Structure formats: structure tokens, C-alpha cells
Structure 1
Amino acid sequence: MTTVSKKDSLLAFIDGYRSLPELWDTACVSYSNRVKKAAAYDILIEKLKPLEPNATRDSVVKKINNLRSVFRKELKKVNESKKSGASANDVYVPSLWYFGELMFLVDQETPDDSISTNELGNDINEKSVAPSSPSTSSGPTPTVNSFAQPSRKRKSAPSSLISLQRPRGIWKLKTMSF
């Protein structure tokens, strides 16, 4: 019986994970298939047994999450050093020995374009909606647009976002234009 080093066992686990795109590739047809994912996790449980003899699905998931988070942190350091304008010789070199083995995850770790709340447009249409019970307060009614508008120009956003807010006891229907 030969003993396999921890490094070799972890490399075998990573290779097994790479060969099962239903676990990591969101574009894979089988990604949302629970049956195929369960079978894939069973394969990885066997790959993890040399490192953890009592391996379960939970321990496989934890191991994958650990590997991906460390990879993500190292990838962030590399990308930030490239953005900083460092020369080719000064770009951060990952110290993680299995960083290259996880490069198949690069496309999955790149965030999608999103709209931040700072990029919302100036066209915020607000309509008051009466509360379900009559208000007994005799104080002043809040203004329709009680949010301060920044002075810088912003991108406009689609008008499909509707949210409810409850400022000072009055429900307001807030429609944002994107």
C-alpha cells in the first residue's frame, strides 16, 4: 500500500472538481440538475477520503468553498497589482501553490456588470400611497421627494425597479427609472 502525499491528494481532488463542471460551471446544462450534482459530490467524497477519512458531502462543500475563497483572494491581489500600473516585473505573483490548478475558475470568479445605487438616475418618480389605517398625527406631511439629489450627473436606469419605503409612517411607492 503506497502512501500518497497530501499535496498529491489535493491535486487529485482539484482535478476531480475540474472534471465535474456541473459543480462549478454556471453555463453547464447540468449545473441545476440535483441528481447529477449529487453523483458528482459522491465522486469528490471518494477523492477527499485520502485527506479526510470521514469525508461527507458537507466536508466536500467546505473544502471547495475554502479552495475557491483562497483562490479568489489571490486572484484579487493579482488583478489589483495589474490595475495599479505596476510594470510586468512588479505584478503580484501568487504564493498559493495550487493557484495555477484552479485557473479554470477564473471565468466564474469574474463579477458580472451591475448597477450600483450610486449610478441610479435622477428621474425618481414617487407616488404616495395612503396607509391602511388613518393617521392621527397632526404633524406636517413629509415631502414627496425627501431624498437629497447629488449635484453630479448620473446614468439613467431602466424604469422596471419598483420598491416600497416607509418614511415617517407613510408608505410611498417609489418607481426608479433606469
Structure 2
Amino acid sequence: MHLNAEGLCIRPFRAGDAEAFAAAVRESVATVGQWLPWCHSAYGAKEARVWIGQCAVRLNMGVSYDVGIFTEDDETLLGGVAINQIDHVHNAGNVGYWVRESMQRRGIGTRAARMIAKYGFDTLRLTRLEIVAAEHNHPSRAVAERLGARFECIARNRLFVRGAPLDAAVYSLIPGDI
């Protein structure tokens, strides 16, 4: 998988991305870390290497597509985007995304989510993608809305973050939406 469009490169993480990944995570604790518990101030290259290895295994198995968002020239790591929680029985998956703090508010999350959703529909042949964001995670919800995802509900206790259940906004995309 290697996607180039909309000024971005989306590709699987490589072992050599570990230091840049860890730095992007540490940079983003104040914004991303608020919603994603793996994003913490002590995140290091060793933890990144483990994550990158897990991503490669799941990608090779075709069960999860957790990949990196890079600048178009593939030089700078901007964040991550994914189709995961794939349910082959119902032909659906979940779209997730994060953008390093210094690059937020530039449309990167929306462009990357659009690219991965198209991949999910066109290549993986999925018929439903969900975006689930904590109810008060307004930046992630704004990405879903800019994509044209349909707001379906606030699902009670849908997410579990830092030992506590959180209500979450559930959005959906189907092939005709993108």
C-alpha cells in the first residue's frame, strides 16, 4: 500500500520511522494525548519500533491498515491514519487518524482520512466505514464532518480512555459519500 495524492504520501511505517514517530507522539501529548492514551510524554523509539512491527504484521494479515501520513516527498512524518477493526462478516471497518501537533489545522487529517476511506472502498471493497470520536473531541469530529460522514448518534460509553468510559460520536461513510 502506497498512496500519493492531495499533497500527502500515505504508506506503511518502516523501522527507520521509529525515532520520527516517537518525536511526533511526544510533541502531540497536549492535543492527541488527550484522546489517545498511547500518546504520552515518555513515548520512545523502542515503543515506536514495537508499534511499527505490530502494524506490519496486521497489514500483512489484511486485518488492519495502520499507516503513516507523510509529506508528499515522503520526508516528514505528519501523523497516522488507519482502517482497523475490520469486520469481514459485515464488510465494515473503522477509520482513525491523528496529526502531530505542529501540523494540525492544515487539513491534513481530512485529506488523509479521505485517501484511506477511498482505499477502503475501492481496494478493500468495504461497504461501510465508521469514525468514532469522543463526544468532546471536536477536532476529530470536524474531520468526519468535512469528509461528509453522516453523524449517526452519540453512543454511550462507546470508548474507554485512561480507565474511564466516554460517550462517543459515531459517523459513517459508505462508498457514495467519498
TM range (shorter): under 0.3
Q: What is the TM-score when the length of structure 2 is the normalising length?
A: 0.24
- Using structure 1 for the length normalisation, give the TM-score: 0.24
The structure in which a higher percent of residues are helix is 1
- The structure with the largest strand share of the pair is 2
Greater CA radius of gyration, 1 or 2? 1
